Structure 1
Amino acid sequence: MKLRLLTLAAMFAALSAIGAFVKIPVGIGSAALDTVPALVSAAFLPPVYAGAASLVGHLSSALYAGFPLGPLHIIIAVEMFIILFVFTKLHQGGHHLVKWLFFIVANSLLATLPFYWIISSAFFVGALPGITIATILNAGIAIIVSPVVERVMERVKTHA
């Protein structure tokens, strides 16, 4: 069972790394689709593994972009881990609407808020619209893809 979880976690982390290459220009930066696989993984993985997939996805995206915020990307990666951990807990608890609302608010507003003090209020105001668009884009794609992937996995379980 543990090997299956590690394999699935590695697969979702790899998909997050691939999603990091899909960049869409928004505001002062670009939105990457690195969070979509991590959001989908909430249906299949324990919270720690889903969080790890998200952490790897963010670090891959930051690496691909050249680490524009330097070591601050470690803070962002840890925030992503925590957000996906809670998101997965909400998913497992059956709070399907709440998990999406939590993800959008936490990933756009709460995750950006520390940078109001770390960098500047101007950075926060400039980054928030783009990050909000990226968050909604990642959530929207995951909302569409998740049920399809879950049905496929159910079919694989019954036929295996």
Structure 2
Amino acid sequence: MFAALSAIGAFIKIPIGINSAALDTVPALISAAFLPPVYAGAASLIGHLSSSLYAGFPLGPLHLIIAVEMFLILFVFTKLHQAGRNVWKWIFFIVANSVLATLPFYWIISPAFFVMALPGITIATVLNAGIAIVVSPVVERVMERVRTHA
């Protein structure tokens, strides 16, 4: 379900400079409260591949690297959530998804690409995180009510 929601979120694009921010990561971030790390990572991987597909795979097969990065980032994010590191999980996500995930492209493509991509990716990361920070507690409360009344 969270992978499907991530694929749907990939359709929601917000223009940022020369690229756009998709809301494909929000459901994967929320899934950290309910799913094991592997499944939360898979939801993020599917969300990124869906977003890339809708955009026409502008980086070609390099999107596979990004998808694996997204999987790993959400895997660690979920582990941090499970360990109760509620502030650190968000700091990790924002730094890892914006700077660390973009860093390999400094060498793979060019330093200019890295410098050009970093602001847009950082804005997209903060936007996805911000929405998830607001929505996650609400979804968790609803799920708790469902569990107690089921």
TM range (shorter): over 0.9
Q: Which residue type is aligned with residue 55 of structure 2?
A: A
Query: Does residue 67 of structure 1 match 2:57?
Result: yes
Counterpart among 37, 41, 56 of residue 31 in structure 2: 41
Among 91, 95, 103, the alignment partner of 1:101 is 91
In the alignment, the residues of structure 1 paired with residue 44 and residue 3 of structure 2 have an alpha-carbon distance, to the nearest angstrom, of: 7
Measured after TM superposition, the shift of residue 27 of structure 1 is 2.6
What is the TM-score when the length of structure 1 is the normalising length?
0.93
Alpha-carbon distance in 2 for matches of 1:73, 1:82: 14
Structure 1 residue corresponding to 2:70, chosen from 63, 80, 83: 80
After TM superposition, the score normalised by the length of structure 2 is 0.99
**Aligned-pair distance for 1:49?**
0.3
Aligned to 1:136: 126
Question: In structure 2, how many angstroms separate the alpha carbons of the residues matched to 1:97 and 1:53?
Answer: 22
The answer for the alignment partner of 1:119 in structure 2 is 109
Contact 1:28 1:127 (C-alpha < 8 Å) held by counterparts: no
The residue aligned with 2:22 is 32
Match among 143, 146, 150 for residue 153 of structure 1: 143
The size of the alignment, in residue pairs, is: 150
Letter paired with 1:129 = P
Q: What CA distance in whole angstroms lies between the structure 2 residues aligned with 1:109 and 1:35?
A: 16
Poorly superposed stretches of 4+, deviation over 2 Å: none
Q: CA deviation at 1:143?
A: 0.1
> Structure 1, residues 110-149: CA drift from partner, whole Å, max 9, x if none?
0000000000000000000000000000000000000000
Which runs of 5 or more residues in structure 1 are unaligned?
A: 1-10
The superposition leaves residues 13-52 of structure 1 with CA deviations (integer Å, 9 ceiling, x where unpaired) of 0000000000011133110000000000000000000000
CA distance in 1, matches of 2:17, 2:106: 17
Please point out which of 45, 51, 64 is paired with 1:55.
45
How far, CA to CA, are the matches of 2:57 and 2:72 in structure 1? 21
> 7, 10, 20: which is aligned to 1:20?
10
For 2:16 and 2:36, the matched residues in 1 are separated by 32
C-alpha distance in structure 2 between counterparts of 1:72 and 1:90, whole Å: 27
